[in-house]
Amino acid sequence: MTYDFLYDANPMRVRFGAGALTSLPDELDQLGLDRVLVLCSPGQEETAELVASILGNRCVGTRADAVMHVPAEVAARTSAEAVTLGADGCVTVGGGSAIGLGKAIALEHGLPIVAVPTTYAGSEMTPVWGMTTNGRKETGRDPKVLPRSVVYDPDLTIGLPVEMSVTSGINAMAHAVEALYAPDISPIIALMAEDGVRALASALPKIFAAPSDSQARSDALYGAWLCGATLGATTMSLHHKLCHALGGTLNLPHAPTHSVVLPYVLAFNQPHAADAVAALSRALPGTADPATRLWELAGDLKAPRTLAELGMKEDDIDRIAEEATSRSYGNPRPITHAAVAALLRAAWAGEVPT
Ligand code: NAD
């Protein structure tokens, strides 16, 4: 093997373990934070209150305002509240939506984030922010939105509904899959990607069978950490562009969209991504090619397998293909509008990925 790479990963401070939530005050000490605002999505108030009680008078408030894709008006309102409350940082508790709201505040005011992820989406490991204005989602990279500390406590994921656990887990695997054939992959990131997929592929069936299996929850969150780190360290390709277009234009749900699309994009890219195929063949159980194994995994775990059932209309195929091919970006296999439209049609109908 001839090595030829650039390794330029993000700094990360990670605390991982069942019950790690109780170490939050230590994390705040480490960062010199005394007045934090706790952010979550609606429905997760109880967990936010638990966090507030652990922080005592170092918590200046909790807000359950986070929604998918960070609407600009929500970001502006919560940012203004953080300033009024004199917050010196935010603790985000939840999935990508809660972290996204924290990132919007960090972008505007530079308030550091301590993230407590409760899904497998991976945003806590990236310097990527997103914001939606008048239905249009803008994204960018800025080191100040990268959480300064991440506390992974698998106990907080026990209540993540099974379908969300499965699709969010496959969403995480999508980061690793695209990292493995990214133009800027490096040996350490490749190891993380392979082990992340291995951990999730082994844990998700156990969670499906017994959602409160604490070992499986721990393994899945560990896999999500690794996969998230690969997302933050490499450049994503066709799969992420397509899911961004499907989510941003048609408002399809984030994790299920990733889960449906991944086997189709991987099947398309496989013939041009030998190293990724070798790594995924080691990490995923089964004997078929990796794209088929992922498709079968989604079927076994009763995840949605068609874009139609997520609300996409057949008429939308051309529009999304246009959006995903209008700008050029790296992808192992050259992309054409016709090929992407065919891929989308197969994913829309749920055909066997080829
Ligand atoms: P989410 O954060 O919207 O969470 C989905 C739902 O699950 C919410 O209703 C939430 O309240 C609930 N939930 C979360 N954790 C739970 C738990 N443990 N128990 C019970 N319910 C729980 O969804 P997501 O898939 O985590 O994140 C999607 C968003 O994150 C999208 O906007 C996406 O663009 C963004 N994202 C950004 C990046 C990045 O690098 N910037 C990376 C990944 C995702």
- Is residue 43 classed as helix, strand or coil in its secondary structure? coil
User: How many angstroms from the chain centroid is the CA of residue 237?
Assistant: 15
136 confidence band (pLDDT: 50, 70, 90): confident
Name the residue ranges covered by the structural domains of the chain.
Answer: 14-157, 162-349
Ligand 1 atom, smallest distance to 128 CA: 41
Per-residue pLDDT tens digits for 254-268: 999 999 999 999 999
Same fold, 14-157 and 162-349: no
Across residues 129-137, what is the average pLDDT? 88
Beta-carbon count within 10 A of 115 CB: 26
Q: Can you tell me which atom of ligand 1 is nearest the CA of 137?
A: 34
Mention every residue, 6+ apart, whose C-beta is less than 8 A from residue 351: none
pLDDT for res 141: 95
Residue nearest ligand 1's atom 36 by CA: 96
Residues 6+ apart with CB under 8 A from 315: none
Q: Environment class of residue 6 by beta-carbon count within 10 Å: exposed (0-12), middle (13-18) or buried (19+)? A: exposed
Q: Given this model, what pLDDT does residue 248 score?
A: 86
Alpha-carbon distance 43 to 36, whole Å? 20
Render pLDDT for 281-328 as a digit per residue (tens, 0 to 9).
Answer: 999 999 999 999 999 999 999 999 999 999 999 999 999 999 999 988
CATH topology for 14-157 is Rossmann fold (3.40.50)
Please give the Cα distance from 204 to 197 (Å, whole number).
11
Is the pTM of the predicted complex or chain greater than 0.95? Answer: yes
pLDDT of residue 53: 98
Taken in order 186, 259, 264, 204, the sign of the CA dihedral is positive
Ligand 1 centroid distance, CA of 209 (Å): 22
**Cα–ligand 1 centroid distance for 172 (angstroms):** 12
Q: Residues enclosing ligand 1, CB less than 6 A?
A: 41, 43-44, 68-69, 94-98, 100, 118-119, 121-123, 126, 128, 130, 156-157, 159-160, 164, 168, 254-255
Kindly give the pairing relationship between strand 36-39 and strand 89-94: parallel
| Residue 308 near residue 293, CB atoms below 8 Å | no
Pocket test for ligand 1, best of 12, 39, 41 (most atoms within 8 A of CB): 41
Buried b (16+ CB within 10 A) or exposed e, 12-46: beebeebebbebbeebbeebebebbbbbbbeebbe
| Ligand 1: centre distance to CA 178 (Å) | 20
Residue 159 alpha carbon, nearest atom of ligand 1: 19
* Ligand 1 atom having least distance to the Cα of 126: 40
Mean pLDDT of all residues in 34-41: 98
Residue 277 CA to ligand 1 centre (angstroms): 28
Q: Could you read off the pLDDT of 175-221 as tens digits, one per residue?
A: 999 999 999 999 999 999 999 999 999 999 999 999 999 999 999 99
Q: Does domain 162-349 have CATH number 3.40.50.2000?
A: no
Q: Which of 41, 37, 129 is nearest to 83 (CA)?
A: 37
CB atoms within 10 A of CB 99: 32
Phi-psi region of 286 (alpha: psi -120 to 50; beta: other; left: phi over 0): left
Q: At what angle do helices 214-233 and 162-180 cross, to 10 degrees?
A: 40
Q: If you take atom 30 of ligand 1, which residue's CA is the nearest one? A: 96
